[in-house]
Amino acid sequence: MVYQILLSCDSGKSVLADDTDAVSDVPVCGNGILEEGETCDSTQIECRDIDPLKYDSGVATCGSDCQEYDTSPCVENTQCGNYVVETGEACDGNAKLCSEIDPDKYVSGFAPCFKTCSGWDAKVCRTYVECGNDHLEELEPCERFSRKDCVDLNSDIFIDGIAECQYDCSGWNISECKVSQCEGVQCGSVIVVEDDYTFEFECGKCSENEICTFEKECIQPCDGGKCGEVKIKNSTGEELTFQCRKCNELQYCSSENECVPACGNMACGDDHGYNCGECPDGFYCSTYPNRCKKMPDIPVQKIPEGVFYMGCNFYVDDYCNEAESPYHMVYVSPFMISTHEVTVEEYQFCIDSGLCSDAVEDGSHYRTYDINFRCNIGSEREPDQPANCINYAGADAFCRFMGGSLPTEAQWEKAARGGCELYADCEKDTPMFPWGNEQASCQYAVIVDVNSGLAGCETGGTFPVGSKPDGISPYGLYDMAGNVWEWCSDWFDGDYYDVSPYEDPQGPESGVEKILKGGSCNFSWVGVRPSYRYNVAPSINYTFGGFRCVFSVEN
């Protein structure tokens, strides 16, 4: 039975009650029930919940009297500047001996705490006691004003001189040391890296009228009678220009800056601006050493003045195309034309003169066998093979070398087919081919064989000029059909025949491509018709491109 004391409402006296179901109003600490008069009772609480401004973490437990929490396990918030070293702080307002921070590095001084309480500011700490106190301390490489032989510092680099300690005792000043790199060097400076420092050492100086070259030699720029502009790189790599003496009359300054007599080994032509002489008629000036040589003898045929029918003769030709029309009459003044295509042997004369070149601004005039095996120049083929792989400029240069020019399309076509003085009914009788109207074949021209379809009449290339006498033209010209295409001076325009003049047409004033006539060893019989018009860019060294020249009748 449980006895409980009950207070009477009437008298305030206690009354003994026998009631096991009654509940006491007196608090019991430790029963786990928060009762009146208790702050806590056997409970735990997060410290932040007690005072979030004061505590950062931890758990507080209710005290044994249930009146307050035990906050000893609580972690308070860190407060830098309160002069209390709290959790997370290295220091808070307190200084520290530098030797305690790093005894291997610092020997004196007090380091203050950073304002962030994260550590000590060691900038005031000293790594050595004092530079200039005449005492070489442990961390000093040298003491102020001390001196030492450079060889003793580094015998691999220095050969002489005295080094003095830097004013702040941080190392040796080796600027006065003599280095082995200067041995055999007349002038200029060398660079030496020592202990992570870079030093420049002067090895010597030249006299007032000398220059120290990039090779570190003292020279006089115009010494030895040099002429013209002398360019020298000085010891720092800068290029300097010096004006030396002028050569005497009839001398020129060579690329070696020496005065050389002009025309000393030359009989003609130009030698550095001096005219060494002119060659007589029938001769040309060859390249250095410049000798007069005889011009090549190229046979020509005279083409009389008169009219002829130009374009495709539709009376006998079923293969006319628009560029070959209309078929029209043209008057051509008299001229001379090469009997055969210009040969390799003949073109070599122009190469020897320097006028025909494989190194010109607008591209090589010609290509050789070592570049293209189909090119006859430079090959072991017969010297009377046609000169092929020639561009327009290369063909024009040769004709000018010979005193002539490339033919106009009208001149070329009249020479190939014949003028009206040869035919009773010129309009209808002008032939389809140079030899007449018989079908083109390898009997008449070097073309693609009509039976086998193989180029060069089954040889794959060109023939020596004049190899097809059955294909000769009415004026006695060889290979006006086949072998190689022949450059004309005209620009190409497929509609030009509609507007071309009646007398001596020269072709359009401008264009993109030039005219070639006559077909080649690599073309079918259709292309060897004299009326056929082929067009190629003048800069191209066309593999099957050759030419012949025309001359005025006065020549």
What average pLDDT score do residues 402-418 get?
Answer: 97
How far apart are the C-alpha atoms of 152 and 138, rounded to whole Å? 20
pTM score of the predicted model: 0.59
User: Using alpha carbons only, how large is the chain's radius of gyration in Å?
Assistant: 55
- Higher pLDDT residue, 74 or 377? 377
Instruction: Report the mean per-residue pLDDT for the chain.
Output: 88
Using pLDDT thresholds of 50, 70 and 90, give the confidence band for residue 123: confident
Q: Residue 439: CB partners within 8 Å, gap ≥ 6?
A: 450, 525
- Residue 337 near residue 550 (C-beta atoms within 8 A): yes
Query: pLDDT tens for residues 473-503?
Result: 999 999 999 999 999 999 999 999 999 999 9
- E strands, 26-121, are 44-46, 55-57, 59-62, 69-70, 75-76, 96-97, 110-111
Query: pLDDT tens for residues 6-17?
Result: 333 343 333 333
Q: Residue 75: CB partners within 8 Å, gap ≥ 6?
A: 47, 55, 56, 57, 58, 87
Candidates 342, 297, 276, 292; CA nearest to 479 is 342
Residue with tokens 């100086």: 205
Using alpha carbons only, give the angle 315, 320, 321 rounded to the nearest 5 degrees. Answer: 150
Candidates 278, 301, 529; CA nearest to 415 is 301
Q: Residue 401: CB partners within 8 Å, gap ≥ 6?
A: 284, 349, 350, 353, 355, 356
Using the predicted structure, report yes or no on whether residue 22 has a pLDDT greater than 50: no
Candidates 269, 220, 225, 280; CA nearest to 247 is 225
Query: pLDDT tens for residues 221-280?
Result: 999 889 999 999 988 889 999 999 999 888 889 889 999 888 877 778 888 788 888 889
Using alpha carbons only, give the angle 283, 284, 288 rounded to the nearest 5 degrees. Answer: 135
Q: What pLDDT sits at residue 25? A: 61
Secondary structure (H, E, C), 304-346? CCEEEEECCCCCCCCCCCHHHCCCEEEEECCEEEECCCCEHHH
Q: Kind of pairing, strands 335-338 and 283-285?
A: unpaired
Query: What is the Cα 357 distance to its own chain's centre?
Result: 27
Buried-exposed string 504-542: b where 16+ CB fall within 10 A, e elsewhere: ebebeeeeeebbbbbbbbbbebebbbbbbbbbbebeebb
- Residue 164 near residue 146 (C-beta atoms within 8 A): yes
How far apart are the C-alpha atoms of 358 and 342, rounded to whole Å? 18
452, burial (CB in 10 Å: exposed 0-12, middle 13-18, buried 19+): exposed
Three-state DSSP class for residue 359: coil
How far apart are the C-alpha atoms of 92 and 86, rounded to whole Å? 8
Element (H, E) at 292: strand 292-294
- Higher pLDDT residue, 317 or 132? 317
Q: What pLDDT sits at residue 83? A: 81
Q: What pLDDT sits at residue 248? A: 87
Return phi, psi of residue 101, to 5°: -70, -50
Candidates 550, 445, 542; CA nearest to 506 is 550
First to last CA, the chain: 162
Q: What pLDDT sits at residue 129? A: 60
Three-state DSSP class for residue 158: strand
- E strands, 180-291, are 188-194, 197-204, 211-212, 218-219, 229-233, 239-243, 251-253, 259-261, 270-271, 274-275, 283-285
Topology of 303-337+402-551 in CATH? Answer: paralog of FGE (formylglycine-generating enzyme) (3.90.1580)
Cβ neighbour number for residue 154 with a 10 Å cutoff: 16
Query: pLDDT tens for residues 210-219?
Result: 999 988 899 9
Domain borders along the chain are: 3-76, 147-204, 303-337+402-551
Q: What pLDDT sits at residue 226? A: 93
